[in-house]
Structure 1
Amino acid sequence: MDTNMHAEQVAAPGGRAVELVYLTTRPELAEALRARSASTAAGRRLRWMYPVLGTLLVLFGALTVVLDGTVGARAVGVAVAGAVLWALSPLVPRLTPWLLARSFAGYVEKAGEARVLVDDSGVRVTTADSEARVGWSAQPTYLETPGSFVMLSDDKSAVALTVLPKRGILPPADTDALRAILDRNLRRL
């Protein structure tokens, strides 16, 4: 099977296509997940959940000490757990995407080289084992990071995403052309 897609031959009528060829890396995936987390309601909730829960646990531990009149192991444990959550809260926005990217790494490595064609009809992704077409309505929003364009589904958690690394754009000067296609068909976050 010839997986080489020629943009001129497969472009939608009247439109220009942009081709990407790349191996997805764990850092790119982590960057995309971090950006998704920063731009979705679920990601923003995760950011404030740790400090709020930590504060509540510390207050509950202190209240238990005040009401009981003694410093018990349970009250101290609850307060320490709250303090740990509070201390970890700045790490959550960076650690969670890194852990998710790490868990997907095996799948991404197994998929191998991706050849992607983006035109006004959607995105076609071809790997050694599969071929998929992503219509604009399936992932109607996108965001741009320093290294990638990230297409997102419109569900509340934006679970589905497609990462289009800029380094894979052929030729590299087509970054503006890809941005233009995405701007025409998707809503930028």
Structure 2
Amino acid sequence: MYTGGDHMRDAAARDAAVAFVYTPTEADYRSAVRRYSFGTPSGLAGVLVPVAVGLLIAYFYAWRKGFSPATSAVVGACVLVASGVILPRILARVAREQYSGTADYGTCTTVVGAEGMTTTGGGLTSTIDWQAFPRCVETDELFVFMPRRMRIYFVLPKRGAADPADVDRVRAVLAAANVHRLRGMPGMTARR
């Protein structure tokens, strides 16, 4: 008789739960935002598309006003410089906003298991299931979890692992839970 569960698999999933104890930092979130934005195809598209649109608008404006090619090049260069100044500020703001949501928790304990993650900190407990955050990007220092269509990040620092083997256990849990690991762009890594 089938009772609705695979008890062997459920027991293995419970055994696979891994606890991380850490204090979130703004640098963690800056690294996560940078890694996603410049290290994944979807993040890179989110960075390059607005710059390309800005250049097209500048080109159209220069063409419409009848600017000379030299003036058009200056307008395009101004758009690129403005993008180079504005984009890092936007990404830093996103990181600050994400961090501000966790700053008050202090030291956190996150348990990663087959069903999702449970984080306890600052007297609060929250649970995130893998359906809500089905994507992950990994850096040398972090696991970064994201929903499908929003730029919200849950950052799990690897420094919180009690044992270096716990990082491999998290990778195994993610593989078993079918969490989609975003591939990085060649040569693109997070820098601190």
Identity among equivalent pairs (%): 25
Separation (CA, whole Å) in 1 of partners of 2:88 and 2:59:
24
Matched, 1:117 2:111: yes
TM-score by length of 1: 0.73
Q: 114, 120, 123: which one pairs with 1:129?
A: 123
Separation (CA, whole Å) in 2 of partners of 1:24 and 1:151:
14
Out of 53-62 and 88-97, give the one that drifted further: 88-97
Task: Give the aligned partner of residue 46 of structure 1.
Answer: 47
Task: Give the aligned partner of residue 33 of structure 2.
Answer: 33
Deviation of the 1:164 alpha carbon: 0.9
Separation (CA, whole Å) in 2 of partners of 1:148 and 1:92:
26
Separation (CA, whole Å) in 2 of partners of 1:93 and 1:44:
13
Unaligned stretches of 5+ in structure 1? 1-11, 70-75
Unaligned stretches of 5+ in structure 2? 1-9, 183-192
Task: Give the aligned partner of residue 61 of structure 1.
Answer: 62
1:40/1:134 CA distance change after superposition, 3 Å: farther
SS state of the match for residue 176, structure 1? Answer: helix
1:183/1:96 CA distance change after superposition, 3 Å: farther
TM-score by length of 2: 0.72
Out of 52-61 and 171-180, give the one that drifted further: 52-61
Query: Which structure's relative contact order is higher, taking Cα pairs within 8 Å and 6+ residues apart?
Result: 2
Matched, 1:172 2:167: no
**1:150-170 CA distances to partner (integer Å, 9 max, x unpaired)?**
111122xx3333211111112
Task: Give the aligned partner of residue 13 of structure 1.
Answer: 11
RMSD: 2.8
SS state of the match for residue 13, structure 1? Answer: helix
Task: Give the aligned partner of residue 72 of structure 1.
Answer: none
1:65/1:93 CA distance change after superposition, 3 Å: closer
SS state of the match for residue 131, structure 2? Answer: coil
Larger radius of gyration: 1
The answer as to whether partners of 2:37 and 2:46 remain within 8 angstroms in 1 is: no
Out of 161-170 and 39-48, give the one that drifted further: 39-48
Deviation of the 1:173 alpha carbon: 2.9
